[in-house]
């Protein structure tokens, strides 16, 4: 029987294909603020910035990794390359990877195993499209994504789940609070049934801003956020980090 651990709250920034050395000062400001807060802050940066972002007081993550350890995969980055550059976390199965790079659940699961092999904590993204949301099949989609892309062996120590409705990413739209709360509750119960643990950190992602973060993070079963656009500057991200840490410890 697994001993339940206290869930941890996270503010995770996903910089996507943004950021050069000019932005290191933003990372320094975010890192300084992270030291003063009790929420865990992770910045998932372009691989080119990881090494230079070390030592700023913020946990670092990649945005994808290859499923193999090494080899003839031009342009790809292995999990070990990420740890070697200072990463402790990696986002896997983001909808932009699933849609624009044709990644399926099985690929995400293989990537998760390869990330675990080098000690990375994986942040596995799941989420439905707008059409699926409107058709009322959100939970079916999410349950299938969990079954297919979160491999056996996932535990709160090596895996974080991020619920990101595809139609919410970068659009300014979010599901209503009742939907977010009931979807997160359902994700937690599916994780318990499938993996025997319900103490995973489950993040919400999609159009989080300083204005809506506190309300969303206060919902039950929401353990923080995965933030795209609003993580690119310290001015925008600091209020989101503050909203996570204001929630205190998880129940
Ligand atoms: P957004 O992106 O916050 O810009 O909507 C979130 C994400 O894609 O992780």
Nearest one of 227, 208, 220, 218 to 245, comparing CA atoms:
218
Q: State in Å: Cα 1 to ligand 1 middle.
A: 36
The dihedral formed by the CA atoms of 77, 79, 85 and 87, expressed in degrees to the nearest 10: 120
Nearest alpha carbon, ligand 1 atom 1: 228
- State yes or no: is 164 an active-site residue: yes
Is any ligand 1 atom within 6 A of the Cβ of residue 170?
yes
pLDDT in tens, 212-232: 999 999 999 999 999 999 999
Is any ligand 1 atom within 6 A of the Cβ of residue 62?
no
Q: Are 109 and 124 in contact (CB under 8 A)?
A: no
Is any ligand 1 atom within 6 A of the Cβ of residue 206?
yes
Is any ligand 1 atom within 6 A of the Cβ of residue 229?
yes
Q: Are 1 and 215 in contact (CB under 8 A)?
A: no
Alpha carbon distance 138, 128 (integer Å): 6
Global pTM exceeds 0.85: yes
Q: What angle do CA 32, 213, 225 make, to 5 degrees?
A: 70
Reduced to 3 states (helix: H, G, I; strand: E, B; else coil), residue 124 is strand
Instruction: Point out the catalytic residue in the list 94, 96, 128, 184.
Output: 94
Q: State in Å: Cα 72 to ligand 1 middle.
A: 31
Is any ligand 1 atom within 6 A of the Cβ of residue 208?
yes
pLDDT in tens, 67-119: 999 999 999 999 999 999 999 999 999 999 999 999 999 999 999 999 999 99
Alpha carbon distance 164, 129 (integer Å): 10
Instruction: Spell out where 59-158 has E strands.
Output: 59-62, 89-92, 121-126
CB count in 10 Å sphere of residue 172: 10
Q: How many residues are there in the chain?
A: 251
Is any ligand 1 atom within 6 A of the Cβ of residue 212?
no
Q: Are 162 and 124 in contact (CB under 8 A)?
A: yes
Q: Are 103 and 97 in contact (CB under 8 A)?
A: yes
Tens of pLDDT, residue by residue, the chain (251 residues): 455 567 899 999 999 999 999 999 999 999 999 988 766 999 999 999 999 999 999 999 999 999 999 999 999 999 999 999 999 999 999 999 999 999 999 999 999 999 999 999 999 999 999 999 999 999 999 999 999 999 999 999 999 999 999 999 999 999 999 999 999 999 999 999 999 999 999 999 999 999 999 999 999 999 999 999 999 999 999 999 999 999 877 65
Alpha carbon distance 110, 121 (integer Å): 14
Nearest alpha carbon, ligand 1 atom 3: 228
Instruction: Point out the catalytic residue in the list 80, 89, 164, 184.
Output: 164
Chain Cα centroid distance, residue 128: 16
Q: State in Å: Cα 165 to ligand 1 middle.
A: 10
């Amino acid at each position: 029987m697994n001993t339940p651990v206290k869930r941890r709250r996270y503010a995770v920034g996903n910089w996507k294909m943004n950021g050069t050395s000019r932005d290191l000062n933003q990372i320094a400001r975010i890192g300084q603020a992270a030291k003063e807060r009790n929420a865990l802050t992770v910045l998932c940066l372009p691989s080119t910035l990881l090494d230079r972002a070390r030592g700023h007081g913020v946990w670092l993550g990649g945005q994808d990794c290859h499923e193999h350890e090494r080899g003839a995969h031009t342009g790809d980055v292995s999990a070990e390359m990420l740890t070697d550059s200072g990463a402790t976390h990696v986002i896997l199965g983001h909808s932009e990877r699933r849609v624009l790079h044709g990644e399926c659940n099985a690929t995400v699961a293989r990537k998760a195993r390869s990330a675990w092999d080098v000690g990375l904590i994986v942040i596995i993204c799941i989420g439905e499209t707008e059409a699926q949301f409107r058709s009322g099949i959100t939970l079916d989609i999410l349950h299938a994504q969990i079954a297919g892309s979160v491999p056996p062996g996932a535990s709160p120590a090596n895996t974080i789940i991020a619920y990101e409705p595809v139609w919410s990413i970068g659009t300014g739209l979010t599901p209503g609070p009742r939907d977010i709360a009931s979807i997160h509750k359902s994700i937690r119960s599916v994780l318990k049934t499938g993996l025997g643990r319900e103490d995973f950190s489950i993040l919400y992602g999609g159009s989080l801003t300083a204005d809506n973060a506190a309300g969303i993070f206060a919902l039950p079963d929401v353990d923080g956020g995965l933030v795209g656009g609003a993580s690119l500057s310290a001015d925008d991200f600091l209020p989101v980090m503050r909203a996570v840490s204001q929630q205190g410890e998880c129940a």
